[in-house]
Structure 1
Amino acid sequence: MRRVKVFSGSSHPELAEFICEKLGIPPAAVSLKKFSNQETSVEIGCSVRDEDVFIIQSGSNHVNDHLMELLIMISACKGSSASRITAVMPYFPYSKQSKKKNHRGAITAKMVANLLSVAGVDHIITMDLHASQMQGFFNKPVDNLYAEPSIAKWIQDSVPEYANGVVVCKNAGGAKRVTSLADRLKIDFALIHADRSRGAHQAHRSPTVPGTPESEVVGSSDNNMNSDLFCYTSNTTADHIIPAIVNKKFDNNGEDDFNSSTSITTLSVDEETSSVITLVGDVVGKVVFIVDDMIDKSGSFIVAAEHLMKNCKAKRVYVIATHGILSDDSIKEIDRCRSIHQLVITNTFPIPSEKRSQSSKLVIIDISATLAEAIRRTHNGESISYLFHTAL
């Protein structure tokens, strides 16, 4: 590619190296350092006049330092007469703060978008924004790429029995993401909901389904129903498991028609948090993929996996996320969890080698080819729609 400069920030040099290798060009020279008073210093080491500049800087554990470094790099290139500056941010920092969580909170993701615009960025390339509406925070073009094609390809190549699997969403907010992956793989999906407000005593009550007669709610295995449809547990919370038939179908003679489309609701109580955990869907004897856009703390993933394996009799559980933040000891906690078979993430977020070695379950999908192709197509003025549904 002619008249292109690709710079790497200090947040994720490994990913930047992979991208440059696939583009067939070396990273452009830049000096990044800190003064003795911890101020960030940036010095561009080559001419960028009338060049198409791409700066690769992902979010990281040192989010504030690396964000400031990116802003200074953008400003330095702008002041050096670059024709266009594109910030390649595989993981967008502060993306979890995309709305007010309380009355006096801040929409920090919007502030970051404003900072990038003020610094002089002309275009942003990112991947799997926490909320797709964040694209409206910018007054510059934003290309939000998807890791879904690469994740789907990994599942098809690495999990032989995936066709008998279920994609599970651990909270209602990620339902759209989960159904999209399930549609791509042509398999079922299910939903987990943890309600901390109901308390443990609520688990003894039968779930109420609008329009369903009380006689249709099954509360024990003594009923003359197909026992394979229900999920029970063998641990101390057995008394708190309440299966229920939802969306029950009937044939022309009014008889019960239990088929694969029947939806199961299973309730159990997490005694540590006193929350009611609800699974809507059937996972008995199936491979389960718990999917989310990021995994920061491991707690909710472990609770979901334990519920699926112990209470709902799933065959095996994979935890899959685009951005593997894995704060504190999350990776060790997942490695110790017997209910999780593998943890699958992409390399959008930098993970030190010492942290990778802490888990034998960790699988990292390389998405550098997708980002490199997005850079190439952006430079050549080509459409990137191809990347939304194709794994490279």
Structure 2
Amino acid sequence: MPDIKIFSGSSQKNLSQKITERLGLEGAKVVRKKFSHQETCVEMGESVRGENVYPLKHLPAKPMDQGSILQVPRKADRCTRWRVHLASLCSGYIVTVDLHAAQIQGFLAIPVDSLCAVLTWTCTVDSPDTCGAKRVTSFAHHLNVDFALIHKERKRSNEVGHVGLVGDVKDLVAILVDNVADPCGTICQAANKLLSAGSTSVYTVLTHGIFPGLAIARISSACLEAVAGPNTMPQEDKMNHCSKIQLIAISMILAEAIRRTQKGEYYSCLFSHVPL
């Protein structure tokens, strides 16, 4: 397809390559530099005049890394702001995968489409917290199975106290569904709760595996059979340290969203079907 440039962040090169290959394109050239004070400089390696530009980036811990690749299509000089509002960087709209809450779309001044990674995950289905109730019910409906809910009480941020279970999981394979796995304390405690309640085995599927600090050690020692999710974030290094982590390609959904956007086609079908 002509008139398209896809720019990739430094950590999304593999996903970007799969998307461009599916679309029959070559990724746009990007030159990245880091200064001694860790400010990031991103420059375009080719002209984008008159092109439709698609920056591809996951949301990192440092907003500067996110802002630099998103600002590239709109300005050629260095990005000097440390805090960047996502909507102010985009002139069209945002396509994302599994927002933490659908209400976030209403806080942005431009249209946002949140695609669903659950369709790429091919029992009882369980949510590790009540915030994921809508997500897990959608997943259970898609698979035509029952669901249960885990409710938790936090002692403080990122530290879970009591974990409870609502629903019957006896003699069933349990699948924990979540959008973000950060310290993974909730997932591991939820897995223990499900096994103690009679589940035969526990798997976890999630959208964004961050896995900082002790997360990998917790997953490795937890009673989880596997932790699977799409390649919205690079996981090769984490997979080398934990055999339980498995990746599922989501490039076909993102590539089809780009193609349909470029062609002016609707893509509501992407919310219920995976393109082949």
Match of 2:114 in 1: 144
**In the alignment, structure 1 residue 326 sits paired with structure 2 residue 205:** no
Match of 2:23 in 1: 23
**In the alignment, structure 1 residue 366 sits paired with structure 2 residue 249:** yes
Higher CA-based Rg: 1
1:199-348 equivalent positions in 2, closer than 5 A? 275=162, 277-309=163-195, 311-337=196-222, 339-348=223-232
Match of 2:80 in 1: none
How many aligned residue pairs are there?
267
CA contact (8 A) 2:229 2:246 kept: yes
Q: Distance in 2 between matches of 1:358 and 1:37?
A: 30
CA 1:196/1:31 → structure 2, altered by over 3 Å: closer, same or farther? closer
After TM superposition, give the deviation of residue 118 of structure 1 in Å: 2.9
Q: Distance in 2 between matches of 1:69 and 1:173?
A: 32
After TM superposition, give the deviation of residue 360 of structure 1 in Å: 1.4
1:101-112 equivalent positions in 2, closer than 5 A? none
**In the alignment, structure 1 residue 76 sits paired with structure 2 residue 75:** yes
**In the alignment, structure 1 residue 188 sits paired with structure 2 residue 146:** yes
Q: Which runs of 4+ in 1 moved over 4 A?
A: none
Percent identity, aligned pairs only, is: 40
Match of 2:101 among 121, 131, 151: 131
Letter in 2 for 1:189: F
Output the aligned Cα RMSD.
2.0
Letter in 2 for 1:133: Q
Letter in 2 for 1:368: S
Letter in 2 for 1:287: V
Letter in 1 for 2:114: N
CA 1:71/1:354 → structure 2, altered by over 3 Å: closer, same or farther? closer
Q: Distance in 1 between matches of 2:62 and 2:52?
A: 26
After TM superposition, give the deviation of residue 120 of structure 1 in Å: 4.4
CA 1:52/1:285 → structure 2, altered by over 3 Å: closer, same or farther? same
Match of 2:263 in 1: 380
After TM superposition, give the deviation of residue 140 of structure 1 in Å: 1.2
**In the alignment, structure 1 residue 121 sits paired with structure 2 residue 91:** yes
CA contact (8 A) 2:164 2:193 kept: no
Q: Distance in 2 between matches of 1:72 and 1:350?
A: 22
Letter in 2 for 1:333: R
Q: Distance in 2 between matches of 1:294 and 1:196?
A: 17
Deviation per residue, 1:334-372 (Å, 9 max, x gap): 1111x2111111111222x33211111111111011001
CA 1:313/1:69 → structure 2, altered by over 3 Å: closer, same or farther? same
CA 1:273/1:68 → structure 2, altered by over 3 Å: closer, same or farther? closer
CA contact (8 A) 2:96 2:114 kept: yes
CA contact (8 A) 1:290 1:317 kept: yes
The TM-score, its normalising length taken from structure 2, stands at 0.90
CA contact (8 A) 1:287 1:314 kept: yes
CA contact (8 A) 1:74 1:120 kept: no
Deviation per residue, 1:30-84 (Å, 9 max, x gap): 2111234433222212121111111111123x5323123124314327x9xxxxx
Match of 1:349 among 230, 233, 239: 233
Letter in 1 for 2:172: K
SS in 1 for 2:188: helix
Q: Distance in 2 between matches of 1:195 and 1:3?
A: 51
**In the alignment, structure 1 residue 6 sits paired with structure 2 residue 2:** no
Match of 1:65 in 2: 64
The TM-score, its normalising length taken from structure 1, stands at 0.64
1:20-99 equivalent positions in 2, closer than 5 A? 20-60=20-60, 62-76=61-75
Gaps of 5+ in 2: 78-82
CA contact (8 A) 2:226 2:244 kept: yes
After TM superposition, give the deviation of residue 171 of structure 1 in Å: 1.4
Gaps of 5+ in 1: 80-110, 155-164, 198-271
